[in-house]
Amino acid sequence: MRAIVIYESMFGNTRRVAEAVARGLARTAEVRLARADEVESGDLASVDLVVVGAPTHAWGLPRTNTRGQALVTASRGDNDLVLEPAAESSPGVREWLGALGRLGVSGAAFDTRLRAPRFLTGRASTSISRSLRHDGAQLISPPASFFVDRQNHLYAGEDERARAWGERLGAEVARRKGAQVSRASLLRARARPRTRLDPLERGLVFLELFVSMCGIGGGIYLVSSPRSAMPLAYLEGTGFDTWRWPGVALLLFVGVGPVLAVVATWQRRRIEDAAHFLVGLGLVVWIIVEALWVVVSAPLQITFATIGVVIAALALTRSRAPRGRTPVVGTVREAHVDVSPGSVAPRDVSPLDASPVGGNGEVRP
């Protein structure tokens, strides 16, 4: 598994958190740590997880003017803040997210901010999460915050909390990937091995499809013109006064029956041979009954009776032949596993939480 942790930082706190998250992720993933200005869009092509973090400035993501204010703060001399070497580099996380293309990866966001209720401080990670989700990333954690004091120093223990959060992110991605793999294996295991039809089967399927087409065509013709399809005189003494019900019977019995046998063959059902035999026998019986009631066309009826006999005979022959179907190499279809965004987990909802206390990535003061 591959992960990338992307960050922006003015005074080094967000960088420290990013480094700790990367250390946590490194237990399960190959991790790259990079500033936003160092990452190109192609760098995300082969990663499974992208984690993005930034300091909270003016209730959200840093902008050019808030970065300028940070520079002023650091240069005031009444503090020990040291600017990061690339503090003014562009793009920052806001600009980087703005230029991001479509993502097909898991994502998570964090920020650094003052330790106070969220509605007072705002938090950059919410904007990052929204942007990642908008670009198609599948969020695997709620936004997480790590806290600095009023002198802009990371609180003790935040490094460790960030490392643990990173570790959980890695485990979550691995779990989801594992679940996908085992689902794929399950689907593959369930797939019936496709085998080539043997010559007898091909003959049977051909005859059955021919009979079926005739049955369906003839049935529809009789049902749609029940009084004129054929002379009604043929029906004398049969109990029918139109061709409607004989048409329905033809449609179902001669039209649909053989299709079921073809489906059984295609699906490799155990009843395949029995189904062929029944189709053949049924066709012979059908013609005999029909001929006893009404001789519509002797050559036609003899032809179909003969086809019925051939089908039954082929089915019997096949059922007694030794089995040795040829597996077709390469036609067992790979199970498709949907990895599209949003397909595995509900948006933004995850048991992953950066906080040992709360459910929103916040350590309560």
Ligand X SMILES: Cc1cc2nc3c(=O)[nH]c(=O)nc-3n(C[C@H](O)[C@H](O)[C@H](O)COP(=O)(O)O)c2cc1C
- Residue found by looking up tokens 């964090």 in the block: 110
End-to-end CA distance of the chain: 36
H or E element at residue 190: helix 158-190
Closer to ligand X by Cβ: residue 59 or 234? 59
User: Contact with ligand X (CB under 6 A): which of 148, 264, 294, 305?
Assistant: 148
Tokens coding 288: 């005999």
Q: Which amino acid is at 44?
A: L
Report, in Å, the least distance between residue 192 CB and ligand X: 57
Q: Which stretch binds ligand X (CB under 6 A): 52-60, 232-240, 248-256, 343-351?
A: 52-60
Q: Which stretch binds ligand X (CB under 6 A): 57-65, 205-213, 300-308, 329-337?
A: 57-65
Cα distance between residue 57 and residue 112, in whole Å = 9
58 binds ligand X (CB under 6 A): yes
35 binds ligand X (CB under 6 A): no
Interactions with ligand X, residue window 100-139 (CB under 6 A): 112-114, 121-122
Cβ proximity of 27 and 165 under 8 Å? no
User: Contact with ligand X (CB under 6 A): which of 44, 47, 66, 318?
Assistant: 66
Q: Tally Cβ neighbours within 10 Å of residue 66.
A: 18
Cβ proximity of 202 and 265 under 8 Å? no
Percentage helix, strand, coil for the chain under 3-state DSSP, each rounded to 5: 50, 10, 40
89 binds ligand X (CB under 6 A): no
| 3-class secondary-structure state, position 346 | coil
Report, in Å, the least distance between residue 72 CB and ligand X: 8
Closer to ligand X by Cβ: residue 12 or 142? 12
Distances 299 to 282, 283, 295, 306 between C-alpha atoms, Å: 19, 15, 10, 10
Report, in Å, the least distance between residue 114 CB and ligand X: 4
247 binds ligand X (CB under 6 A): no
11 binds ligand X (CB under 6 A): yes
- Residue found by looking up tokens 């002198």 in the block: 151
Report, in Å, the least distance between residue 359 CB and ligand X: 19
Distances 200 to 13, 197, 259, 311, 362 between C-alpha atoms, Å: 76, 8, 17, 10, 71
161 binds ligand X (CB under 6 A): no
DSSP letter for 86, please: T
Closer to ligand X by Cβ: residue 301 or 360? 360
Report, in Å, the least distance between residue 65 CB and ligand X: 8
Tokens coding 268: 């490799």
Closer to ligand X by Cβ: residue 57 or 163? 57
Report, in Å, the least distance between residue 12 CB and ligand X: 5
User: Contact with ligand X (CB under 6 A): which of 12, 215, 255, 282?
Assistant: 12
Q: Which stretch binds ligand X (CB under 6 A): 53-61, 99-107, 325-333, 334-342?
A: 53-61
180 binds ligand X (CB under 6 A): no
Q: Residues touching ligand X: how many (CB under 6 A)? A: 22
DSSP letter for 152, please: S
Q: How many residues comprise the chain?
A: 365
User: Contact with ligand X (CB under 6 A): which of 3, 4, 13, 278?
Assistant: 13
Cα distance between residue 66 and residue 58, in whole Å = 7
Which residue(s) pair with 107 in the sheet?
Answer: 50, 139
Report, in Å, the least distance between residue 160 CB and ligand X: 18
Which residue(s) pair with 327 in the sheet?
Answer: 195
User: Contact with ligand X (CB under 6 A): which of 4, 35, 47, 57?
Assistant: 57
Q: Which residues bind ligand X (CB under 6 A)?
A: 9-14, 55-59, 66, 69-70, 73, 112-114, 121-122, 148, 152
